[in-house]
Structure 1
């Protein structure tokens, strides 16, 4: 197959339709559950009030705004995959009750300053109707499209921007791939909500949790356990590669067996170390918050010695962990260049050997 044939074949696997949907139609679709906004895809309102207000101002001035992308489900319902901030801002302004939010009061409009302080209901009828009749270019990815290319499309729409965290994008990618992806995504969420695990990352900053760092650490655990040989020194690429491998079923993932091991390990870590499982130590005492560079080392090192650690008294286990992470061997494998392959393996080996003595 030559390059032209290869391109033509792939083009034929994606079916899209572009049309202008009015703001009023968009809101009506959402109210009738014909347009689904998954809160797990993109968390509502990372935009400030000023950003939302300027979008409304731009719409009233008929300035161009970026397209939104939706995917057509088998039952014909549309699911928003890109454009949450624009769509939810418009819905909140016109009909805030549909999202269970307070009405949007415009603030920060600098082209039409008279709009500041106004709600939708406070506008003249002619302006309200004009806004509701304004069209938004909407790209519909048809249900007949290749499942894999739908998945790739979302990745490319959302990779490299600042609107979603890397784990946000991975989570939506999982849903794009179909039932197996949804199952894996739900599995990660369930693990992230598992009480023993949550106890070990209790010192993770709320801002990190908001960016789904708790879920990313779950993926990081499974990648360290099952995909460490593919690590090339870049954490993000490694996690993306592992997620792709699982979603596209290039590697096996036994949900029942993996959860049994996960549950046993994090129950042990919670019982022995609590919130200080993945923190730094100074003179035998824990300091600071969760240190990602310590995470694979402690999880993998303890997993290799799980039976022995389960039998230890918490104080004895904590003493060993403190000495291990304060050791010269461990500290030389953290800091600058900590994500290199040799340093990752050295950290894991240091914890593994500490609990074998």
Structure 2
């Protein structure tokens, strides 16, 4: 079979795994569906609504002057309800403008700033607009692209990843959480619980932006994917974490054991302090995070009773290792570098 035949089969197979439909709907109809809980914006996803007042005003202005609205993507669940996949910023802007956005009432009934084309919008809320303008917004139509329930979840992930057209791009972890919550929320809840562990936060010292973008959740997933899914390592760590989470959300039985391993690792490393995952430049290093967390977890029985100064000595030994340095730096997310870091972790901690 030649390359072109392989290409045709691969493309056809991928197309067959995707089942879609499309509708043109008014924002008023979408709002009514939302109020009847027929279109779901999950609270974990909804908190990612982060357009500023200028971006929101610009979108409302676009609707009022008749600029076409880009398509919104939803995923149909097993009950026929729609879960928002792409279009969070646009949908949430309209919902909050009319004061119906759930779970985040503080974002409702916001006041516009000057529009790019209509300065007169400044200081106006929805209730201040003439009724005909409010109705213009509700009657504005939007194309809804529906990803049917029988579509492959990895294809839903790819759609979200490629078609995330909002003003603030989502991180890989935000996308994973949004897509895979449709299978089961147990694993998402587990990631969130671990991410909020006070001692873990003290070790990582995340910025506010990192917290907002679920960086802590991603680090927990990274730990799980390398400890529990090492044998299926993909060519790229981000893709590996996606593949691992796709499997993990369907297998809640693994969660208790993973939680124990994660908490043991955090408790043991917490006395070492935030320097444990930082190199000479005092910047957090995912390469150090991989090596230290894996090494400590794999050989936990050996280290659970050692003094903190002995543990620090081991970590410093790792940082000074030439093998570790070669497996870090550029291309550190590749499979070969990660496997090398795991090898180094076994050498140093084992």
5 Å-filtered alignment, 1:286-297, equals 288-297=282-291
Map of 1:136 onto structure 2 = 142
Residues 1:55 and 2:86 aligned together: no
Map of 1:311 onto structure 2 = 305
Alpha-carbon shift at residue 35 of structure 1 (Å): 2.7
Alpha-carbon shift at residue 325 of structure 1 (Å): 0.9
SS in 2 for 1:280: coil
CA distance in 2, matches of 1:330, 1:14: 46
Indicate how the Cα distance of structure 1 residues 267 and 120 shifts in structure 2: closer, same or farther if over 3 A, else same: same
Alpha-carbon shift at residue 212 of structure 1 (Å): 1.3
Q: Calculate the TM-score normalised by the size of structure 1.
A: 0.81
Runs of 5+ unmatched residues, structure 1: 282-286
CA distance in 2, matches of 1:268, 1:159: 40
Maintained 8 Å contact 2:202/2:274: yes
Residues 1:28 and 2:32 aligned together: yes
CA distance in 2, matches of 1:163, 1:198: 24
CA distance in 2, matches of 1:173, 1:9: 18
SS in 2 for 1:62: coil
SS in 2 for 1:139: strand
2:21 to 13, 16, 27: 16
CA distance in 2, matches of 1:130, 1:321: 63
Alpha-carbon shift at residue 193 of structure 1 (Å): 2.5
Alpha-carbon shift at residue 214 of structure 1 (Å): 0.9
Indicate how the Cα distance of structure 1 residues 86 and 332 shifts in structure 2: closer, same or farther if over 3 A, else same: same
Runs of 5+ unmatched residues, structure 2: none
Alpha-carbon shift at residue 229 of structure 1 (Å): 4.0
CA distance in 2, matches of 1:276, 1:199: 11
Q: Calculate the TM-score normalised by the size of structure 2.
A: 0.83
Alpha-carbon shift at residue 166 of structure 1 (Å): 0.5
Cα RMSD of the aligned pairs, angstroms, is: 3.2
Alpha-carbon shift at residue 200 of structure 1 (Å): 2.6
Map of 1:284 onto structure 2 = none
Map of 1:320 onto structure 2 = 314
Which stretch shows the higher mean deviation, 218-227 or 155-164?
155-164
Cα shift readout 1:162-198 (whole Å, capped 9, x = no counterpart)? 621111111122123x23xx33222222322334433
Residues 1:280 and 2:279 aligned together: yes
SS in 1 for 2:45: coil
Maintained 8 Å contact 1:298/1:348: no
